[in-house]
Every structure is written in C-alpha cells, then in structure tokens.
Amino acid sequence: MSEKSIVTKILRYLKTVPGCFCWKEHGGMYGTAGIPDIIACVNGRFIAFEIKTPSGKTTKLQEATIRKILNAGGVAAVVHSVDEVKAILEKHGLL
C-alpha cells in the first residue's frame, strides 16, 4: 500500500471522529520541511501524524519536528495504519 493511500484512509477515518478537525499538510517549495503529513485538533488537543509505509523511514528533520511537538505538549507519532491512529487517540483519551 502506498503512503498516499494510507494518508487517504487515515483522513477518512479522522473525519468521522467527533470533535476532530484535520488536514493533509502539503510539502513543496512553499511548505515547511519536516512538518508531519496530517495535522489535527481533536477536542482541543494538537495532534500530528507522520505517515509511512511499513518500509518507509523518517528523516532526521521529521524526527526532530516530532520531538518538538511532543516537548510542546502536543501528540505526535509516526503511523502506518488507521489502527495505529485509533490506538494513539485511545491512549490519550480522545475517543
């Protein structure tokens, strides 16, 4: 499964979660490098998901951005599936 299809499935799921506002962050020359693929706010909680295929690897910049989000009190993680997203939301009491 491609990263794009995983992103699509996760966004579709997040749009069904009550109290969730989310979007796909688009990179490119006008974007900020290292920003996770999906940004969300669930019941007032900032969440960022870096999406990877099972064989995908994060860059040092992506890892640093995730650490900064965590240090700022947000939720951030590298995920590979909708099930992992659900588990993170449950862990943080957001479902």
Quote the pTM value. 0.94
In our burial notation (b when 16+ CB lie closer than 10 A, e otherwise), range 73-91 reads: eebbbbbbeeebbbebbee
Tell me which residue range forms the domain holding 47.
3-91
80 is written with which tokens? 């590979």
Is the Cβ–Cβ distance between 64 and 44 less than 8 Å? no
Residue 75, domain CATH:
3.40.1350.10
Number of domain units in the chain: 1
Distance CA 12, CA 16 (A): 7
Is the Cβ–Cβ distance between 39 and 23 less than 8 Å? yes
- Sequential pLDDT tens for the chain (95 residues): 899 999 999 999 999 999 999 999 987 777 788 999 999 999 999 999 999 999 999 999 999 999 999 999 999 999 999 999 999 999 999 99
